[in-house]
Amino acid sequence: MRIPDYFEFHNSVKLLSGFKAISHIPFELKNLNSERPLILTDQTIKKLGLADKVLNAFDGSGIVPVAIFDDIPADAPLNKINEVAKFYRDNNCDSLIAVGGGSVIDSAKGVNILVSSDSDNLMDFVGLDKVSGKLRPFIAVPTTSGTGSEATLVAVITDTERHIKMEFISYNMLPDVAVLDPEMTESLPPHITAATGMDALVHAIEAYSGRQKNPISDVHASAAIKIIAENLIPVVKNGRDKKARLAMANASFMAGAAFSNSMVSLTHAIGHAVGAVSHVPHGVAMSILLPWCMKHNLKMAESSYAEVLTFLKKIEDVVALSEKERAQACINYIEDLLVELNKICKLPVKLGDAGVKKEDFDEIVARAINDGAVVPNPEFVDETIIKEILEKAF
Ligand SMILES: [Fe+2]
């Protein structure tokens, strides 16, 4: 294993993982010296009764959440972040609990920047390492298993007026605590379970094969890949399988911790653009693009993909293969997995089936080539290559 001359790894998130894990939230808040939490969630999560489950966890604890803001829209829009920050201040809150998917958790990260720095302008904090000092106590309770936002230093927030997604990147934004409880994900429908699970798999594979990989992120990524290989199909077939749900939540967290330190690469660069231009859900874009981006990267990432195969399959199934054969078999495995998911829950396997139009390609290419995720990609990338990948995935 090659050890980089220099690398950093940071994950300060305390993890609570298991059945009834949400019942420990009040104890964790007390540890954080907080007693006036604001709960952030969205309408879907509220209707599913998941916000109430978190509220009920406070019964008899001596802490009563001050308020619930239950109207976080998709894509974490900038104007909503300001509104929630005002709500937080008006209610004299002292901490945040995000109950939701990536948009809710990223919104909470944005709100936490504003309320901790006493600012009204989130634009002052766009980019890398603009958030200084310790933020307010923050607990993330993910209701999907995919974005890994509960374990990452990134928040993606949308400027809806300028139609751009902005990245805020700082270790100070990591949640203090992440709570993985299978009760919070068991009502996810199969196609969202599949798409978000594939997002986690892409995080792990891209972290493991990218130019910024390091031994510590490799450990997290390889464990995530093994767990996803064992549990994704079972949990898509039976969402009430609580053990598989908990396994996928752990995989998502570990994949998040891996890419938070080693970054993601080409699949995400193109996928971000496909999402922004053609409004394809992130996990769907990830699953469609992954095999095509791996094929492009095959030569430079051959040894990584060969190792990834050993996490995906039993050792007796791969032991006779050369490194080159293992790397190709890794891509074949992903393609077979996508065909199976398509059969089970209609997860699209082509961009054309996911709503992308050929006339979108030029704008997608222009955005993708400027995405930061191009930088750690193992193989050279230019506009022509991205267009070819889009054609093939169409
Ligand atoms: Fe992703």
In the listed set 157, 184, 211, which residue is the last one of a domain according to the structure? 184
Q: Are 251 and 363 found together in one domain? A: yes
Helices 383-393, 266-278: axis angle to 10 degrees equals 70
> Over the stretch 113-139, which tens digit does the pLDDT of each residue have?
999 999 999 999 999 999 989 999 999
Q: Are 219 and 317 found together in one domain? A: yes
pLDDT of residue 215: 97
Beta-carbon neighbour count of residue 378 at 10 Å? Answer: 22
Q: What is the mean pLDDT of residues 315-344?
A: 97
Distance 101 CA to ligand 1 centre (A): 12
Distance 65 CA to ligand 1 centre (A): 31
Residue 267 domain-assigned?
Answer: yes
Distance 133 CA to ligand 1 centre (A): 27
> Over the stretch 230-278, which tens digit does the pLDDT of each residue have?
999 999 999 999 999 999 999 999 999 999 999 999 999 999 999 989 9
Q: Are 164 and 262 found together in one domain? A: no
> Over the stretch 162-179, which tens digit does the pLDDT of each residue have?
878 889 999 999 999 999
Give the span between the Cα atoms of 228 and 337, in whole angstroms: 11
Distance 61 CA to ligand 1 centre (A): 36
- Structural domain count, the chain: 2
To the question of pTM greater than 0.95 for the whole model, the response is yes
Residues 6+ apart with CB under 8 A from 118: none
Q: What SS3 state is found at 155? A: strand
Distance 224 CA to ligand 1 centre (A): 14
Beta-carbon neighbour count of residue 165 at 10 Å? Answer: 17
Distance 197 CA to ligand 1 centre (A): 10
Q: What is the mean pLDDT of residues 55-82?
A: 93
Give the span between the Cα atoms of 301 and 309, in whole angstroms: 12
CA-closest candidate to residue 40, choices 75, 87, 77? 87
pLDDT of residue 165: 82
Q: What is the mean pLDDT of residues 156-163?
A: 85
pLDDT of 157 above 90: yes
Distance 196 CA to ligand 1 centre (A): 8
Say what percent of the chain tops pLDDT 90: 94
Give the span between the Cα atoms of 268 and 138, in whole angstroms: 27
Q: Round the average pLDDT of the chain to a whole number and report it.
A: 96
Give the span between the Cα atoms of 42 and 115, in whole angstroms: 20
Q: Are 24 and 69 found together in one domain? A: yes
Per the structure, the complete domain to which residue 380 belongs is given by: 190-393
Which tokens hold the place of 122?
A: 């989130």
Distance 185 CA to ligand 1 centre (A): 18
The alpha-helical segments, DSSP class H, found in 313-352 are 315-318, 323-345
Distance 327 CA to ligand 1 centre (A): 22
Distance 287 CA to ligand 1 centre (A): 10
Contact present, 96 and 108 (Cβ < 8 Å): yes
Q: Are 140 and 230 found together in one domain? A: no
Tell me the helices (H) and strands (E) count for the chain, helix number first. 15, 9
In the listed set 155, 184, 213, which residue is the last one of a domain according to the structure? 184
**CATH value at residue 354:** 1.20.1090.10
Q: What is the mean pLDDT of residues 40-67?
A: 95
Distance 27 CA to ligand 1 centre (A): 31
DSSP assignments along 185-200, one per residue: TTT--HHHHHHHHHHH
Cα torsion 180, 182, 185, 187 to 10°: value is -160
Where residue 311 falls among pLDDT bands split at 50, 70, 90? very high
pLDDT of residue 49: 96
Distance 149 CA to ligand 1 centre (A): 9
Q: Are 262 and 357 found together in one domain? A: yes
pLDDT of 1 above 80: no
pLDDT of 2 above 90: no
Which tokens hold the place of 151?
A: 């374990």
Tell me the residue ranges of DSSP E strands in the chain.
14-17, 37-40, 67-69, 95-100, 127-128, 138-142, 154-159, 164-169, 177-180
pLDDT of residue 258: 98
The three-state (H, E, C) secondary structure of 212-227, written as one string: CCCHHHHHHHHHHHHH
**CATH value at residue 172:** 3.40.50.1970
pLDDT of 300 above 80: yes
**Hey, what amino acid is at 321?**
L
Q: Are 31 and 178 found together in one domain? A: yes
pLDDT of residue 161: 83
pLDDT of 53 above 90: yes
